[in-house]
Amino acid sequence: MFESLKKKFSRTSEKLEEELIEEAEAENNLQEESGSRFSFFSFGRKKKEGPEEDEDNLLPEADEPVEEDSPAEEEAEEVPEEVEEVKEEKKSRFWSRNKDDDEEVEDVPEEVEEVKEEKKSRFWSRNKDDDEASEDEDDDVEDEPEEEKKSHFWSRNKDKEDVSADGEASGGIFSFVREKTIQEKHVEDILFELEMELLQGDVAMEVATEVVENVKENLVGKKIKRSNDITEYTYYALRDAVEEIINIPGKSMTEMLEEKKAQGEPLVVMFVGINGTGKTTTIGKLANYYLKMGYTPVIAASDTFRAGAIEQVTYHADNVGVKIIKHQKGSDPAAVAYDAVEHARAQGKELVLIDTAGRMQTNTNLMDEMKKIKRVSNPDLVIFVGDAITGNDATEQARKFNEAIDIDGVILTKADADSKGGASLSIGYVIKKPIMFLGVGQGYDDIMEYDSEWMLNQLFSDDEEIAEEA
């Protein structure tokens, strides 16, 4: 779920890390440090597993620390002055082994001369003749980080097997000789790319802009001591920005149901939306959900416009075992809703679920009919049902319905099939109304009350079990 957003957030962290490390390399302000590099998603797991650890504990020692070169290796890698010049030109400070020795080298290998002439050569021991192959075996260990173009010191596309249960990734980490500060110039291009990627992922324009601005505010001015700090700061900057977007205050439907029950009145809920979003199926799921919680729902078949709509909602009501109030096709939808409310009051039922005809937000006549149903039934909640995988379309539909009838909340269907996550991230923020439920499958039990903390864990964890536990 939401795999696209996860990747975008992770790439933002990686790009900022590369930007700062490359700059520090050019400034001769970088040194290799033993330890394990954390993945972007590891910080959420660390926070969940236990109390906050001090800074030193965030950098555990690697199981196999890098060993110093043996005397035999030093002898095999005697370095002429010309090679030292090449090293200065490349400004490579990570794998030098202090190869100072007093022995003279009579002959300079031809390959070293090639290194001086060709800037693209990775190191001085790449193309040695076959008779020098034994010396290359030791050098290859040092050359691995530069084997791929722009690898930036470690592979960015490691398989999941390369990440431990604690979120530690194989590969070294780097620290800065002089502490670096994240400046606006470091994040400007990176956050512009993030904003474009969010828009491509069906995130609403105002939401993408708000996320980027919040991340920028949280990152600029942060002081960095080591590469893991960059990943951690970016993780929490993104997480805090998203949390502010998705955490829309409001009562849950269950809380409102309890309050109405205490008053001796049914909770009346009216459902609106366009055709094909799963509105009628969602009503069946909610009837089943609250029936299992001990409440007694009743369904009003107020979609008297669409052919087969009454039969469809009746099918769901019969399957879950709840009463349905219905009239003839073409009858007044408001009258059906009114009768359902009166039935619930007379029979002591706690919940009325009113199905309405799906309509486009541009259809004036149907929108007026929907307003009439609202006036007659006087619902406690008007809920817009949208299809999560339609992204920006669902957000725009919710905006129009909110302007026309003032909705109170949102239910997103097909959230389990939504890889982008644009609607889930945007819709509540755009209309300033909470998401109340998510449809997560095709069965009657496949519906869940929305929880912003659960949503955060879905977006900022690559471990499904951890997300489910939240």
User: Going from the N-terminus, what domains does the chain have, and what CATH number goes with each?
Assistant: 3-245 (1.20.120.140), 253-469 (3.40.50.300)
The pTM of this model reads 0.69
Helix 205-219 vs helix 227-246: crossing angle, to nearest 10 = 140
Q: Is 273 annotated as a binding residue?
A: yes
Q: Is 264 annotated as a binding residue?
A: no
Q: Is 280 annotated as a binding residue?
A: yes
Q: Is 359 annotated as a binding residue?
A: yes
Q: Is 441 annotated as a binding residue?
A: no
Q: Is 275 annotated as a binding residue?
A: yes
Q: Is 415 annotated as a binding residue?
A: yes
Per-residue pLDDT of the chain in tens (470 residues, 90 and over written 9): 567 777 888 888 888 888 888 887 788 876 666 666 666 666 655 444 444 444 444 444 434 444 444 444 444 444 455 444 544 544 444 344 444 444 443 444 554 444 444 444 443 444 444 444 444 444 444 444 444 434 444 444 344 334 444 445 445 566 677 778 898 998 999 999 999 999 988 899 999 999 999 999 999 998 888 777 888 888 899 999 999 999 888 889 999 999 999 999 999 999 999 888 889 999 999 999 999 999 999 999 999 888 889 999 999 999 999 999 999 988 999 999 999 999 999 999 999 999 998 877 556 777 788 889 999 999 999 999 999 888 888 999 999 899 988 999 999 999 888 767 788 888 999 999 999 999 999 899 999 999 888 888 888 876 544 444 44
Q: Is 276 annotated as a binding residue?
A: yes
Q: Is 344 annotated as a binding residue?
A: no
Q: Is 241 annotated as a binding residue?
A: no
Q: Is 250 annotated as a binding residue?
A: no
Q: Is 278 annotated as a binding residue?
A: yes
